[in-house]
Chain A
Amino acid sequence: MLSRTAGSLYWIGRYVERAEFTARLIEATIRLDALSPRPAGQGAWDSALLVAAADYDFGLTSETRSPLNISRYLTLSASNPSSIRSCLDAARSNAKSVRTALSRDAWEAINRAWLNLRGRATTGGNQSTLGIVEAIRAETRGFEGALHRMLRNEAYAFISLGAAIERADNTARLIDVKYHLLLPDGEKVGGPIDRDQWTTILHAVSANTAYRWLYSEGLKPWLVAELLSLRKEMPRSLAASSEEVVTHLNAIGKRTGLQSEADRLARMRQSAIERTSIDTIFNHGLHEWLSGFIYENARIHQAIGAQFRFG
C-alpha cells in the first residue's frame, strides 16, 4: 500500500471519529444546558469548547459566547478546523484521493454525510441543531457499518487505527474537562448539578445503560471515571481504545512484516493501563494521569506517521 494512501486512511478514521464525537458532545451539551439552572447553562457550552479543544480559537472569532454561536461554531464553522463540517470536508477530501482503497459503501457514507452538511449556513435553534447532529451520528454509524464489511486488510486496519487514536484522545479530554471545570462555586460534590454533569458525560459517550449494568451503585464520579478509563468492556474507554491500537498495529505488522516504535509505545501503554487501578489514578491525581495519557497518545500518533512514512 502507498504510504500516502495509508496516511489518508488513517486520517479518515480520525476525522470521522472526531465528527461523531463532536456531534455527541453537542447533543449532550444541549441536554445539560436544558437541565441547568437559569440563566442558561453557559458553563455547559464553555466546557464543550474546552472538550473540543476549541476554546482558544473561538475566542479569536470575537463572537459572543452564546449557546447558539458556540453550537454553530462547533457544528458548521468553516474557520474551526475541528467543526463537524471541517472534519467531514477533510474526511471526504482524503476519501476522494484514496477512493480505490475504500469500499463503495464506505465512500458513499462519507460522501453522503458531506453532501448533507453542504450549503447549510445556520444551525437554527437547539431543535434543528439536534436534527443535524442526529443525522451526522446516523451517517457516521453508517460509515462504521460499511467499514466492518470491508476486507480485513491494511485499509481497514489504518482507518480503525486512526479512529482508535482519536477516540482515546476525545474520551480522555472529556473526562478531564468535565471533572475539573464544571462545578460552579458553592456547589457540592454529589449535589444535583454534579450529578447532572456526570450523567452528561455518560450521555456523551452513550454509556448510561452500560454504567447501570456494570455498577449496581448510583452515580459515583470515580466509578464513571473508572468506566471510561479502565473498563475494557466499554468500547470508548481508554483501556479499550489502547487495546485496539495494539490490535490494529499487530494486524498491519503481520501483513507487512513491519513492526517498530509505534508498536513498542502502544504495547507499553496497554500494559501500563492493565496494571493500573482507579485508586492509583486518584492518588496520583486524575488530571495529571489524563494529561499523561493525552501526551502519550500524541506520541503514538507521531510514531505511527513516522513508521509508515505518511510524509
Chain B
Amino acid sequence: MAIERAFDEIWGSSASREGRPEFTALADWISSTPPAELDRRQQAAEAAFRQLGITFAVYGEEESAERIIPFDIVPRIFTKTEWADLSEGLVQRVEAINAFLADVYGPRKILKDKVVPEELILGNPQFRPMLDGAKPPHGIFAHICGIDLVRTGPGEFWVLEDNARTPSGVSYMLENREAMLRLCPELFEMFPVQPIDSYPDSLLETLQSVAPRPAGKPVCVLLTPGHFNSAFYEHSFLADSMGIELVEAADLEVDDDMVWMRTIEGRVKVDVIYRRIDDDYIDPLVFKPDSLLGVPGLIAAYMAGNVALVNAPGTGIADDKAIYSYMPEIVKYYSGGEAKLPNVETYRCREPQALKYTLDNLDKLVVKLVDGSGGYGMLVGPTATKAQIEEFRAALLKEPQRYIAQPTLALSTVPTLTESGVAPRHVDFRPFVLSGSKGVTITPGGLTRVALREGSLVVNSSQGGGTKDSLILAGDA
C-alpha cells in the first residue's frame, strides 16, 4: 500500500509515529487528546458550518441536497522556511502565468520561438480568438490563482494544477481557521501561527488596484451565477467581507461600452468585476448565446478598456491540462531561471510515445481529461478495476489528445480523525495567490483538502473529500 511509504506531515516517515521534531507538540496533542473529545469538537464545528449555511450543492442532486464539506479537526502545519520557499516558487509561477497570457493574447513570442507548439494554443478550446489583442487594465490577466500543490517528502513539493480561472475554496480557508480558533485555542498557544484574516482586505486592494481609470474610489462588484451555484456561499461570504455588492447578471447592464448596476437610486457605474461565472456564460453576445447567466455587451466593455474583469476572460489557456506540461519551459522562458516549483511528470497522450507508455502502464498511472475538473473523467490506475482500465484504454485510443497521464505519487498524509481513531489520510494544498497592479500577495495559508477514505488519493469535495486548517508558523518554534 502506498500509505505505508507516504510521508506524513506531522508524524514524519517513521513507523513509530514519533513525529517530525518541529511538530512533536502537535503529535503529542493528537495522542493526548481523547478521540471522543476530538470528535465532539469536530461535530461542534460541523454543526456551526451547517447553521451558518456554509454549504455546497452537488450537481445532479436535488436542490435541497446541500452538503457541508466535512471538516477535520487535526490541522496540517508548515514551518516558516517551508512556507518561504513555497511562496518564492508561487510568485515566480504566477508571474510567469501572467506574462504567458499577455504574450499569447499579444505578440505570441513564445509561439514564434517554438517553446510551446502553436497549434496547441491556437487550436485549444480554452484559447479565445475573439479576445486576441486584449489588454486588460495594468496588463494582469490572472488576478487570483489557486495553485494545487502536493507533497511527497520533506522539501518535495509538486504543482498538480494551476487554477487560473475562478478558483474557489478560500472561504473554507477562512472559516476553518475561525472554527479552529474557537474549538482548539490551545494549538495557537502552542504554535506562533500567522494570521490569515487579512485575505479579504488583500483581495479588495487587488481589485481596486486594477481599476481601468483609478480616479476616486473604484466601484468593485462580485458577479455570481446566483444562489443555486455550488460555490454561492463563498461568493456571498467574499462580497460581504469586502463590503462590495454581490450582483447577478440581471443587476448589470452595458450601455455605450460602460457597465452599470441597477440600484434603487438609479444606475451606478461599475469599474471592476470579480466574476465567478465561467467565460462561456459571461456574455451571450460573444460566448454561449443561450445563456441567461451573462451580461450582454460585457466583453465589448472589457475590450474597450472600461471595466476590469477578474480574472480576465481567456485565462483558461494557462491552466489547461495540456499546457500544464509545458509550464517548466514557460516559467523558464519568462523568468529566465529554473522553475522553483516543479511539475509532476506528465505524459501528453497526444504524443505517440507518451501514448504508448501510458497504454502500457495504465495500472500505475493517473489519467486525466485535459478539460476535466472536480475529480470527474479521471482514472486512478492502482485502485481502478479491470473494467475501468479497459474503458480508459478504449477512450485513449479513440481521442488521445484529450488525455494526459501522470505517475501516481505517494501523496503526503496528515493525521485525520476517522471512525477508527486518528489515522493518516492523503492531502493536497491550495494556496491563493493575488496579482494586482502593485505586485503579488500571498496570504499565509491555504486550503488543505483531505481524502477521507483510507488509501484514497481523490480529495475533491464533490468526491467526498474534506478540508483541514493549514497553519503557517511565524517562527520556527
**In the complex, A163 Cα to B111 Cα: how many Å?**
62
A6 within 8 A of B: yes
Within 8 A of B (CB), among A108-158: 108, 111-112, 115, 118, 154
Residues of A76-99 at the interface with B, using a CB-CB cut-off of 8 Å, are 93, 96-99
Which residues of chain A come closer than 8 Å to B53, judged between CB atoms?
Answer: 96, 99, 107, 111
Flag if A1 contacts B51 (CB, 8 Å): no
A37 within 8 Å of B (CB atoms): no
* B326 adjacent to chain A (CB < 8 Å): no
Please state if A311 and B250 are interface contacts (CB–CB under 8 Å): yes
Is B420 interfacial (CB 8 A cutoff)?
no
Verify A4–B51 contact, CB threshold 8 A. no
Q: Is the CB of A100 within 8 A of B251?
A: no
Q: Does B261 contact A (CB under 8 A)?
A: yes
Q: Is B239 an interface residue (CB 8 A)?
A: yes
B265 proximal to A (CB < 8 A): yes
Encoded as 1 (CB less than 8 Å from any A CB) or 0, chain B from 247 to 284 comes to 11011000000000111110000000000000000000
CA distance A112 to B53 in the complex (A): 10
Nearest-neighbor residue (CB-CB) of A108 within chain B = B51
Write out the residue numbers on chain A whose beta carbons fall within 8 Å of the beta carbon of B245: 2, 5, 100
Contact with A along B35-60 (1 / 0, CB 8 A): 00000000000000011110000000
Question: Min CB distance, B45 to chain A, in Å?
Answer: 16
Interface residues of B in 33-87 (CB under 8 A from A): 50-53, 64
- Smallest distance from the beta carbon of B54 to chain A beta carbons, Å? 11
B236 interfacial contact with A, CB 8 Å: yes
Least CB distance from A17 to B in Å reads: 21
A283 within 8 A of B: no
**Residue in contact with A111 in the complex, picked from B51, B64, B227, B232, CB distance below 8 Å:** B51
* Cβ-based interface call for B240 (8 A): yes
Contact with A along B326-340 (1 / 0, CB 8 A): 000000000000000
Q: Tell me if A293 is interfacial: C-beta within 8 Å of chain B.
A: no
B264 touches A154 (CB 8 A): yes
Interface of A is mostly: helix
Determine if A1 and B240 form an interchain contact, defined as CB atoms under 8 angstroms apart.
no
CB distance from A260 to the nearest CB of B (A): 11
Check if A3 is an interface residue, CB within 8 A of chain B: yes
Flag whether B246 is at the interface (Cβ < 8 A).
yes
CB distance from B423 to the nearest CB of A (A): 32
B251 surroundings in chain A (CB, below 8 A): 2-4
Does chain B have a CB within 8 A of A254?
no
- Whether the pair A1, B250 counts as a contact (CB closer than 8 A) is no
B264's partner among A108, A112, A256 (CB-CB below 8 A) is: A256
Q: A93-B227, A308-B264 are in contact. List 19 more A-B contacts (CB 8 A).
A: A1-B265, A2-B251, A2-B261, A3-B262, A3-B263, A4-B248, A4-B251, A99-B240, A99-B246, A100-B236, A100-B245, A107-B53, A111-B51, A111-B53, A112-B51, A252-B264, A258-B265, A309-B264, A311-B250
Q: Which residues of B contact A (CB under 8 A)?
A: 50-53, 64, 226-227, 232, 236, 239-240, 245-248, 250-251, 261-265
6 A-B pairs closest in CB distance = A97-B227, A100-B240, A99-B236, A96-B227, A308-B264, A256-B265
Report 6 cross-chain contacts, Cβ distance below 8 Å, ordered by A residue.
A1-B263, A98-B246, A154-B264, A256-B265, A257-B265, A258-B264
The interface of chain A, by Cβ under 8 A from chain B, is 1-6, 93, 96-100, 104, 107-108, 111-112, 115, 118, 154, 252, 256-258, 308-309, 311
